[in-house]
Chain A
Amino acid sequence: MSTKVTVVKNVLDANDRLAAENRTLFADKKVFVVNLMSSPGAGKTSLLERTIQELQGTWKIGVIEGDIQDTYDADRIAALDIPVVQINTGGACHIDGNMVREALPGLNIDAMDLLFVENVGNLVCPAEFDIGEEMKIMILSTPEGADKPAKYPLMFQSSTALIINKIDLLPYVSFDLEKAKRDALILNPKLLIFEISCKTGDGLKDWTRWLNEQITALASK
């Protein structure tokens, strides 16, 4: 005889609970946590390098790297004299709340103001998994095309700021900048948009100034 067992359970409950614990811990320690997301190669590590160089005189910074395998990115960050922990995601397509929690003992967050988490390069699932961050920031690079907001709405919807990177390539790629911005704002009217080039440094100042303000606001709470 077959019976129906009602379960009614959100699969993400366990993750959401861990993320909430992380969030409480970060608030306690006054660490500003940024979850940085993008496709592979859009410029997450490049943006971190640039941003760290700009802000490391002001804030104590740490980084969690979510590379799938190697330690290339972690090495690039360590070269800046910044504490960095590499999460072994074991091939997983996103970082979750538990992975962040397990990475924390490797970082001295008591003595930290700003913690960047470089998520795995992927436009789908990182947006679904809360890790306890203060805000999600996403990067879209011009060679990827302007159709990305329509294809991956969740990522754009859940981010506080969108960084359009590689604007130095605009003359060479057919990227409809206005369409990308328009579509992103339809999905997320409050989204802040920065247009930058990690190569030339264009636009970076606006981004770092804004981020600096956000951290200051949290630190003085």
Chain B
Amino acid sequence: MHELPVMQSILTIVLKHAARHNVKKVHAINLLVGKLSDLEVEWMQRYFDHLSAGTVVAGARIKVGWVPAVLSCEVCQTRVEVDKVNLDGITCPVCAKNKFQLVSGKKYHIKSMEAE
């Protein structure tokens, strides 16, 4: 379900930029998405197709670059990349402490679009 409101926001932004650049057709939209956001490309595409029907961006392919989740050690600021986090026994590779701050992993950025 989360894909629907997110794709709606993406469509709004993309349409604005398409108009500004006098674009006739958009082939692809490049996104950067944090791995912790739980979006699925297949559903992003489906909702996007549904929402964009009849606009200049209809038919555009959604391409996702996944941004890994990065934790930063509270003590020595060493950065640790994690996937779906397994916290059992996770420790800082440098100081061996186990307290972290989340640095990235929750973003939705539109990077560019391929258009003509």
Contacts and interface: CB of A to CB of B under 8 A. Distances in A.
A38 B84 CA distance: 19
A124 B38 contact: yes
Interface string B63-95: 000000101001000000000111110100000
Q: Is the interface of B mostly helix, strand, loop or mixed?
A: mixed
B33 to A, nearest CB: 9
A3 B116 CA distance: 6
Given A153-B85, A157-B102, A12 B108 contact: yes
B14 A7 contact: yes
Given A5-B112, A6-B111, A7-B112, A187 B9 contact: no
Interface in B1-36: 1-2, 4-6, 9-10, 13-14, 17-18, 21, 23, 27, 36
A189 B102 CA distance: 11
Given A11-B9, A93-B2, A5 B17 contact: yes
28 contacts: A2-B115, A3-B114, A3-B116, A5-B17, A5-B23, A5-B112, A8-B109, A9-B17, A10-B109, A11-B13, A11-B108, A11-B109, A12-B9, A14-B9, A92-B1, A92-B4, A124-B38, A125-B2, A125-B38, A149-B87, A153-B85, A153-B102, A182-B87, A186-B90, A186-B98, A186-B99, A186-B100, A187-B71
